[in-house]
């Protein structure tokens, strides 16, 4: 889906063949709010391949009346010396349907297993994360000037730390690419709008996200494509407020007190390398490795399988 999440996993950050998924914070254990994951190494999205062209240009949309299934599994590891070490595995399933030759609709859902280890002990968590729906539209094909595809999507369901909420996270973005056989240059970007939400007794404002991802794909032959690029993301500051009862003295009644916290704006840069392989039955498998260049996001290894019905 002109696509992620990170893939979100939590990546959405949201799936590989949809622009976000899954979050720009990779696949850290889910806490508050939406973590869109940009999946912009748009390899292996097609129907009938052109010889020696990267799989990325076969088709960024699903053919009219056709259905595609994408299953992905992403593993992420991150650590801060002396503070914590964490692992997370995010599974995502998505369905894409071609309404017209230029328009597709899609839906996806993600679940996560996470483990966090600190000097005081360890915790594990297994949960269903979210369900998203969206649509992609091709404004222009790749001719003398680059192709242009846009998408918009929203979260029908998200699970926070203590509560669930709906229609609080939205994303919209564009992908442009230019094919110069056997190389494809791709630039993708999106803006994630994250509305305030209630999570248990707290009100969370996760902060919005803007991300860009330039990449280059190279076709070794009509079955194998390699790609490399950079994911850059900007997340605005995050706010939270929790109301608690606090007793000022022994002989006084407890009073309601607002506890407020704020995290500063953060940016993050990852190097991304991917490899795609097409089987004789036209199923496509992709492996993507993301390594953090700046920030504290750790590494992310992702496997995707794309099947057309």
- Summarised one tens digit per residue, pLDDT across range 229-269 is 999 999 998 888 877 777 776 777 777 777 788 888 999 99
Q: Are 298 and 76 in contact (CB under 8 A)?
A: yes
Give residue 72's pLDDT: 95
Q: Quote the CA–CA distance of 73 and 47 in Å, as a whole number.
A: 23
Residues of the chain with pLDDT > 90: what percent?
Answer: 53
Contacts of 51 (CB under 8 A, 6+ apart): 222
Q: Does any domain span residue 11?
A: no
Domain that holds residue 265: 20-308
Q: Are 165 and 158 in contact (CB under 8 A)?
A: yes
- The DSSP symbol for 163 reads -
Give residue 260's pLDDT: 82
What CATH number did the domain enclosing 58 receive? 2.40.160.40
Q: From start to end of the chain, where are the E strands?
A: 20-21, 37-38, 67-80, 84-98, 103-118, 121-140, 147-159, 164-165, 169-180, 183-194, 197-199, 202-205, 209-219, 224-235, 238-246, 255-263, 266-278, 284-294, 299-308
Decide: pTM greater than 0.85.
no
Q: Does any domain span residue 253?
A: yes
Report the pLDDT averaged over residues 224-230.
94
Q: Does any domain span residue 13?
A: no
Instruction: Output 118 or 61, whichever has higher pLDDT.
Output: 118
- Residue 57: φ, ψ to 5°: -100, 5
Structure tokens given for 227: 């790609």
Give the chain's mean pLDDT: 80
Contacts of 272 (CB under 8 A, 6+ apart): 41, 213, 215, 227, 228, 229, 230, 231, 288, 289, 290
Question: What's the pLDDT tens digit per position in 164-218?
Answer: 999 999 999 999 999 888 899 999 999 999 999 988 888 999 999 999 999 999 9
Structure tokens given for 242: 């929790």
Q: Are 114 and 86 in contact (CB under 8 A)?
A: yes
Q: Quote the CA–CA distance of 45 and 283 in Å, as a whole number.
A: 10
Q: Are 8 and 38 in contact (CB under 8 A)?
A: no
> How many Cβ atoms are within 10 Å of 248's Cβ, its own excluded?
10
Give residue 261's pLDDT: 84
- Residue 274: φ, ψ to 5°: -135, 155
Structure tokens given for 173: 């973005």
Q: Does any domain span residue 63?
A: yes
Q: How would residue 59 be classed by pLDDT, with cut points 50, 70 and 90?
A: low
* CA distances, 46 to each of 87, 92, 103, 212, 306 (Å): 33, 20, 14, 23, 10
Q: Quote the CA–CA distance of 221 and 54 in Å, as a whole number.
A: 8
* CA distances, 254 to each of 240, 246, 250, 257 (Å): 22, 5, 10, 9
Q: Does any domain span residue 278?
A: yes
Give residue 56's pLDDT: 54
Q: How would residue 227 be classed by pLDDT, with cut points 50, 70 and 90?
A: very high
Q: Say if residue 47's pLDDT is above 60.
A: no
| Alpha-carbon torsion (134, 20, 53, 277), positive or negative | negative
Q: Quote the CA–CA distance of 270 and 243 in Å, as a whole number.
A: 37
Q: Say if residue 88's pLDDT is above 80.
A: yes
Instruction: Output 111 or 19, whichever has higher pLDDT.
Output: 111
Give residue 150's pLDDT: 94
Q: Does any domain span residue 10?
A: no
Number of domains in the chain: 1
Q: Does any domain span residue 7?
A: no
Q: Does any domain span residue 3?
A: no
């Amino acid at each position: 889906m002109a696509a992620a999440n990170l893939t979100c996993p939590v990546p959405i950050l949201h799936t590989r063949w949809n622009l976000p998924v899954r979050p720009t914070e990779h696949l850290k254990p889910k806490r508050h709010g939406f973590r869109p994951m940009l999946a912009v190494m748009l390899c292996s999205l097609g129907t009938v391949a052109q010889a020696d062209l990267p799989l990325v240009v076969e088709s960024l949309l699903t053919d009219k009346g056709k259905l595609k299934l994408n299953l992905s599994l992403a593993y992420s590891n991150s650590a801060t010396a002396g503070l914590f070490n964490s692992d997370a595995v995010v599974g995502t399933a998505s369905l894409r349907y071609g309404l017209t030759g230029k328009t597709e609709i899609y839906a996806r859902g993600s679940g996560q297993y996470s483990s966090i280890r600190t000097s005081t002990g360890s915790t594990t968590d297994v949960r269903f994360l979210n369900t998203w729906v969206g649509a992609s539209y091709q404004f222009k094909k790749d001719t003398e000037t680059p192709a242009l595809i846009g998408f918009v999507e929203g979260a029908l369901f998200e699970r926070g730390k203590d509560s669930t909420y709906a229609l609080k996270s939205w994303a919209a973005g564009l992908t442009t690419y230019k094919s110069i056989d056997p190389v494809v240059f791709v630039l993708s970007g999106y803006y994630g709008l994250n509305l305030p939400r209630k999570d248990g007794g707290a009100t969370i404002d996760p902060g919005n996200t803007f991300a860009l991802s330039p990449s280059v794909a190279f076709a070794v032959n009509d079955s194998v494509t390699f790609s490399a690029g950079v994911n850059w993301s900007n997340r605005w500051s995050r706010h939270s407020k929790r109301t608690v009862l606090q007793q000022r003295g022994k002989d006084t009644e407890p009073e309601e007190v607002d506890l407020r916290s704020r995290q500063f704006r953060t940016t993050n840069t990852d190097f991304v390398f991917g490899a795609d392989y097409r089987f004789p039955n036209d199923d496509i498998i992709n492996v993507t490795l993301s390594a953090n260049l700046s920030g504290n996001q750790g590494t992310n290894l992702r496997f995707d399988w794309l099947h057309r019905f």
